[in-house]
A = this chain, B = another copy of it.
């Protein structure tokens, strides 16, 4: 900028004015400055600008895994909102590791992002207290924050799972299996709770062998599914606690002789093209992301003050696999 000023034969501040489109510059002077800018290939250094102004016009997004198809659309909709507010998006994956989450979040705070959208991996977020006090807007997504009072946007995991399981019960099933992630993960716990509630509503006692928790890698999901299909009290339907589980269960069911019903939590691509189509409890990732991001920017506006918990509804999409009667 100094160089531009020198070349144009004007003061520093005048260049600054031109760069920022501020008023109070003669067209003639502006032309000279613009010329110098072009000649030197000058571009404003936003780091210095940030340092001076205090706002970075960027927000951080910490999620579990960018490669997961659930987070792609979510990330995209957050970006879209950020863009509408002239902000850039910095994101990182925690890989479901609380320590890595904290490391990422603090790195983002050191960059002085204006706000944070966090899909929590850990369950204690007190480390964020100083940041919140310092005015970093924060919205948690998909799972609530631990031990701090903050905005959170999530799906109705409990209601969705309960509805999905009730759907199976309505089609005559009583022996229904549940395969889900570790209950220390909030979504997994809520979905399990929904499963239990639906079973209880129908007066069906749940056998321990019907539930498989903390199972996530394909090999173990496969074993879990096979076990509950061939065990002493074999299930006639399975409720899959997330999209990765659903995919593996589909593979297992395809190999079975008898027809086993399936409802999965989270939609999966091409679910309608499979034989049978896969019935799912779908959450709208894009909507979740948009809602969270909009709330974030309202915090930044100062429009918002009190942390709130926003639960978005899920939608049962019937495609065939959840509508088989039990085949005992």
Residues of A bordering B, CB below 8 Å = 41, 43-48, 50-51, 56, 58, 65-69, 71-73, 75-76, 79, 83, 88-93, 106-112, 129-131, 133-134, 247, 250-251, 254, 268-270, 273-275, 286
Contact = CB atoms under 8 A, between A and B. Distances in A.
Contacts of A43: 106, 109-110, 130-131
A197 to B, nearest CB: 30
Contact of A47 (B51, B93, B275): B51
Contacts of A69: 69, 72, 269
A88 B92 CA distance: 7
The number of times this chain is found in the oligomer is: 2
Q: Give the most central of A66, A68, A71, A286: most B CB within 10 Å.
A: A66
A274 B90 CA distance: 37
Contacts of A79: 66, 91-93
25 contacts: A41-B133, A43-B131, A45-B112, A47-B47, A51-B51, A58-B90, A66-B75, A66-B79, A67-B286, A69-B69, A69-B72, A71-B72, A88-B107, A89-B90, A90-B90, A90-B91, A91-B91, A247-B269, A247-B270, A250-B270, A254-B273, A268-B269, A270-B274, A274-B274, A274-B275
Contacts of A251: 273
A135 to B, nearest CB: 12
Contacts of A250: 270, 273
A27 B50 CA distance: 34
Given A83-B92, A88-B90, A92-B83, A47 B111 contact: yes
Nearest to A44: B110
Contacts of A110: 43-46
Contact of A88 (B48, B66, B111): B111
A269 B270 CA distance: 8
